[in-house]
Amino acid sequence: MLEKGKISHRQLTVLTILYTIGTSILIVPSIMAVFSKQDGWIACLIGTAANLLTILIYSALASRYPTLTLAEFSEKILGKWLGKVISLFFLSFIFLLSSFLLRVVGNFMTTHIMPNTPIEITIILFMAVVVYAVRLGIETTARAAEIFLPFVIALFLFLTFFLLPQIRIDRAEPVFENGIKPILLGAFYYFNLQEQVILMMLVPYTNRPKKARSALLAGTLLGSVVIIVSVLLSTLVLGTEFTQRNMYASYTLAKQISVGNFLQRVEAMLAIIWLITIFFKTVVCMYAVTLGTAQTLRLKEYRTLTLPFALLLVFLSLLVYDNIVSFIAFTPKVFSVYATIFMVLIPAGLLGIDALRSSMKGNQTSS
């Protein structure tokens, strides 16, 4: 393996929590309000259950090849050339996702934080920090995640506590007003916004790869709790109609907090939470795509790919969509279907083929 650093079971849990929160804390409340209305929190619960089920598939697959990443064991299962094709196909998905993450950062910062700063500058600066983290390695990134997680949790609890007086339970009623179909649709979109399959690239670099399942399950569950609470608060404080009209509903939600005259611009705390979590999600994606490409192409060092990939990502991030309206239209309806191929079909297919091969070998041995 190219990367020699190891991360602990706890560090994998921390990275999974931050990765799960990622972009979702900002954009999921509005998407859930659009498709599932006031039942968005129920859709998130179902989507979380689906994520946990797929992690069981990923873990079963990873346990068969505990020292190999998905890019490596694809060749073991499918053969050299078909395995490389599937690997590169999977890596293209991570690359596209990374460009989306960059663009979301650029849009948010130029819309709410630094409106006079060109989006290109914001994206380039953010990408520079990501590249630096990726070059330091996953072990250093995991240690940094342990430092930042308590701040993320503390800020989120602070925001939640001061929003409690503004909650109106009637805004979540009536439950199941539009039936189960919109809830399942919202659950499908939520499920595909998590992209937990990419975390499989980290499993071989844990100190106990065969026990990574519990870390991934715990991290996904804890991160999902933050998202579900955000969706609930957006619904109960802002209302469904207001939430679905705001792309960054959680940020708007934080503006509702009033803590006297001594604490203003509380929404900056939500922006800090989001920037920290999306930074770690982008680092994990960038690390996965550079490492996976190096493994597929049999390169000795993944770090040589970080700069050229960073330049390509900056360029692609400026092209992936024109504006927020096109992003809202594209992400749930198109990207979610596309992501399903990599989150469900490819892992399940690899697991099924590998299990079938093992069964056939066992029958041949017994005969």
Q: What is the CATH number of the domain that holds 257?
A: 1.20.1740.10
Question: Is 272 inside any structural domain?
Answer: yes
pLDDT at 274: 85
| Rounded mean pLDDT, 9-36 | 88
Of the listed ranges 85-89, 143-147, 245-249, 282-286, the least confidently predicted one is 245-249
User: Has residue 357 been placed in a domain?
Assistant: no
What pLDDT was estimated at residue 125?
93
Does residue 18 lie in a domain region?
yes
Distance CA 60, CA 57 (A): 5
Domain total of the chain: 1
Is there a domain that residue 43 lies in?
Answer: yes
Confidence band (pLDDT; 50, 70, 90) for 290? very high
SS3 at position 313: helix
pTM, whole model, 2 decimals?
Answer: 0.91
Is 366 inside any structural domain?
no
* AA letter at 156: F
- Which range (189-193, 218-222, 272-276, 327-331) has the least confidence? 327-331
In order of 34, 104, 115, 244, 252, the CA distances from 247 in angstroms are: 10, 11, 16, 7, 9
The domain containing residue 202 runs over which residues?
A: 9-338
Query: Residue 349: inside a domain, yes or no?
Result: no
- In the predicted model, is pLDDT for residue 25 greater than 90? no
| pLDDT score at 1 | 47
Is residue 350 a part of any domain in this protein?
no
Residue 366 scores a pLDDT above 60: no
* DSSP letter, residue 300: S
pLDDT in tens, 315-359: 998 887 766 666 666 666 777 888 888 888 988 998 888 888 877
Q: How many CB atoms lie within 10 A of CB 208?
A: 14
Residue 23 located in a structural domain: yes
Write down the mean pLDDT value for the chain.
Answer: 85
CA distances from 193 to 25, 67, 93, 97 (A): 11, 27, 13, 10
Angle at 275 between CA 274 and CA 278, to 5 degrees: 80
Comparing 162-176, 289-303, 313-327, the range with the smallest average pLDDT is 313-327
Helix/strand/coil for 166: helix
pLDDT confidence of residue 327: 67
Lowest mean pLDDT among 9-23, 30-44, 142-156, 325-339: 325-339
Q: What does the pLDDT read at residue 287?
A: 94
Mean pLDDT across 34-61: 90
